[in-house]
Amino acid sequence: MNAGDLVDTGGSVNAGGSVNAPVLSVTSLVKKFGHFTAVDDVSFELMPGASLGIVGESGSGKTTTARILAGLEQPTSGTVALDGEVIEGHSRRARLRHARRLQMIFQDPYSSFDPRQTIARSIAEPLRLHAPGSRKEHQARVDELLDQVGLSRRAGESLPRDLSGGQRQRAAIARALGIAPRVLVLDEAVAALDVSIQAQILTLLDQLRRDTGISYVFVSHDLAVVRYITDTSIVMRHGRIVERGETEQILRGPQHPYTRLLLDSIPSPDWDLDRVVQDRRALDLR
Amino acid sequence: MLAKKTLARKGTPDGRAEDRRDALGISGLSLAVGTGERAIPLLADVTVRVGRGETVGLVGESGSGKSLTARAALGMLPRGARATGGVTVADVDVLAAGRRQLRDLRRTRASMIFQDPRASINPVRRIGDYLTEGLRARGVPARAAAERARDLLDQVGIRDPKGAMRRFPHEFSGGMLQRVVIAGALSTEPELLLADEPTTALDVTTQAEVVGLLKDMQRVHGTGMLFVTHDLDLAAAICDRVYVMYAGRIVEEAASASLFAAPAHPYTRALLEASPSVHGEKAEIKAITGRPRALAESPSGCSFRDRCPLAGDECAGTVPAHRPHGTSLVACVRPEQVTP
């Protein structure tokens, strides 16, 4: 794949006119840990209000890519641009500017909350950092946010340990949305949740995107979830992008043998394990 | 049946292949911790059967009691728990068994594999020691045990079995280590294999391989398998029959094919509608309101009624008895409204 393919992917979600500029563009991203290349020449674009899936298994480089987007890792080479502005440096000011526009949600919402602070206080923290205002104004905004993600005010007064996994993930979303970022990076955000709760969070995310026009980068190993929540996707393996395009098209007609292997590996009533073995062989032959 | 034939050919040491009793029979099992007023119920009236060579799924969300049920089959009850009802593995009455009998049972008749292979294998002992331990305890001579262990490693697809015997758990990836654990679980030719989310921690492609391996091994050894999972699609793909659990009770039992085509319990149907799928047309998902409950915090009558779209007054009185509907056995008073 080369950079020329990028235009294609982005084009399908363009609404035309002034929103034609991508809100996030990633160019030739490389991340090396010693001799190991975790992310190898990854490029993609995300349009305002669009949702992009990054699909892969462990070791594919999908989480490292997400962490670079959020500024938690520095790329070895390549650039990340938000609203056309390349992210540079990691001074406090640069990081604040970055975080103002891009927020991240992690798989385990427990380890991303201060266990001694109430949920409401945690949600107010980014507001205090980014949005100057009185305590009262912040409190009002927190109440609004809690309501938006379907949490009661009582839940807001609780400590993280008193909430269930689904409630904590709602709180994490509320905290990220508080400063109205342009992009939300979600790293396996629903992977640890029960099916019934996962559906609640997915429908909430869907609703929020429609209401606010926020963009998602949705990192996941779960193709069914990615199908539900994204428009376009990239499939990563060993740090490289092996396939990209509209999510629906990738699922219906996978071009790369690895994507085919991923799809055939998903259990279904007519699951054919022999086909998985064949796919694996086809992939190894390449 | 292939399983029977293979068993007959290989022959089991004490001719166990002859009789046709179930690998696992759990009937009316209730479990509670604490006493009197402060007793906390964990399971209520759970009935599960696994035939020889059969794969049976136990599906549910967190707190449904699926792992508790599987553990009860080996007599592993929570500390201070009181159990009523019956649990039989092969011909052993598990609830009445003493420590020694339980140890024998776990050593020879029933094995269990867990989600995280690293948590169930001693990190400072070599793979060879792990695999020969059970065999040696049964009185197999060291050399024969080592040979059998190498055979098993070969069967589960570990390259260079001889070298693998000398390696430590940390030298294997999660998927490879789970294969080793499966080899260990099957080393004593158990009649019952309890698999508690054995592939949940693995990548999808690795999951497919490990499941394929489990099914093959089960076929060859004629083992009955109770497969505990939260993944409906996975259960549908590999199980003959499925039990759906909610809040410490079995709410539906059905052949897996019909369970997914025609769910009879509102909870089963809600679960299916809440799961996004890669198959067929892209469909909306429907979230279930509220959260999964444990038995102790569930409402009176039907435990699901506070989340159920079909619930009415008659659901509050008593716990619905299991009744046949279609090919299912379902604990709901109005299954005809779920799937006509």
- Write out pLDDT tens, residues B99-137: 999 998 998 889 999 988 898 899 999 999 999 988 888
Q: Which residues of B touch A228 (CB under 8 A)?
A: 276, 282, 285
- The whole-number pLDDT of residue A274 equals 87
pLDDT band at B340 (very low <50, low <70, confident <90, very high): low
- B270: contact with A, CB 8 A cutoff: yes
CATH dotted code for A5-113+181-253: 3.40.50.300
| CATH classification number, B2-116+191-239, choose in 3.40.1280.10, 3.40.50.300, 3.40.50.1220, 3.40.50.720 | 3.40.50.300
Q: How far is A99 from chain B (nearest CA, A)?
A: 31
Query: Which residues have a Cβ under 8 Å from the Cβ of B239 and sit 6 or more positions away?
Result: B55, B56, B57, B227, B256
Q: How far apart are CA A164 and CA A263, in angstroms?
A: 32
- B294: contact with A, CB 8 A cutoff: no
Helix (H, G, I), strand (E, B) or coil at B2: helix
* Average pLDDT, 10 consecutive residues per value, chain A (286 residues): 41 46 96 95 96 94 94 94 88 89 88 92 92 90 92 91 89 93 94 88 94 96 95 96 97 95 90 88 82
Q: Do A196 and B61 touch (CB under 8 A)?
A: yes
Query: Which residues have a Cβ under 8 Å from the Cβ of A84 and sit 6 or more positions away?
Result: A21, A22, A25
Q: Which residue has the higher pLDDT, B230 or A15?
A: B230
Q: How far is A20 from chain B (nearest CA, A)?
A: 27
Q: How far apart are CA B13 and CA B10, in angstroms?
A: 9
- Residue B216 to residues B53, B150, B210: CA-CA distances in angstroms? 11, 18, 10
Q: Do A57 and B204 touch (CB under 8 A)?
A: yes
- The whole-number pLDDT of residue A206 equals 94
Q: How far apart are CA B251 and CA B244, in angstroms?
A: 6
Estimate to the nearest angstrom the gap between the alpha carbon of B1 and the chain centroid.
23
- The whole-number pLDDT of residue A197 equals 87
- A199: contact with B, CB 8 A cutoff: yes
Q: How far apart are CA A197 and CA A166, in angstroms?
A: 6
- Residue B48 to residues B64, B72, B86, B211: CA-CA distances in angstroms? 14, 11, 10, 22
Render pLDDT for B264-282 as a digit per residue (tens, 0 to 9). 999 999 999 999 988 888 8
Angle (CA) B147-B148-B152 rounded to 5° is 120
* Beta carbons within 10 angstroms of residue B146's beta carbon: 18
Q: Closest to B285 (Cβ–Cβ): which among A203, A261, A276?
A: A203
Q: Do A224 and B277 touch (CB under 8 A)?
A: yes
Q: Any bridge partners for residue B278, and if so which?
A: none
Residue B13 has pLDDT above 60, yes or no: no
Q: How far apart are CA A40 and CA B78, in angstroms?
A: 49
Q: Which residues of A touch B208 (CB under 8 A)?
A: 264-265, 267, 273, 276
Percent of residues in chain B assigned helix, strand, coil, to nearest 5: 40, 20, 40
Q: Are B295 and B246 in contact (CB under 8 A)?
A: no
Render pLDDT for B135-194 as a digit per residue (tens, 0 to 9). 888 889 999 999 999 998 988 888 899 999 999 999 998 889 999 999 998 888 899 999
Q: How far apart are CA A84 and CA A101, in angstroms?
A: 12
Q: Which of A61, A62, A53 is nearest to A232 (CA)?
A: A53
Q: Are B131 and B153 in contact (CB under 8 A)?
A: yes
- B277: contact with A, CB 8 A cutoff: yes
- B297: contact with A, CB 8 A cutoff: no
- B208: contact with A, CB 8 A cutoff: yes
Q: Which residues of A touch B212 (CB under 8 A)?
A: 273, 276-277
Q: How far apart are CA B103 and CA B106, in angstroms?
A: 5
Residues of chain A with CATH 3.40.50.300: 5-113+181-253
Q: Tokens for B7, please give them.
A: 């068993």
Selected residue of B232, B285, B297, B306 to mutate for chain A interface (largest A Cβ count, 10 A): B285
Q: Do B209 and A276 touch (CB under 8 A)?
A: yes
- A268: contact with B, CB 8 A cutoff: yes
Quote the mean pLDDT of chain B. 88
Q: How far apart are CA A38 and CA A64, in angstroms?
A: 7
Q: Do A196 and B212 touch (CB under 8 A)?
A: no
Question: What is the pTM for the complete model shown?
Answer: 0.86
Q: Which residues of A touch B270 (CB under 8 A)?
A: 196
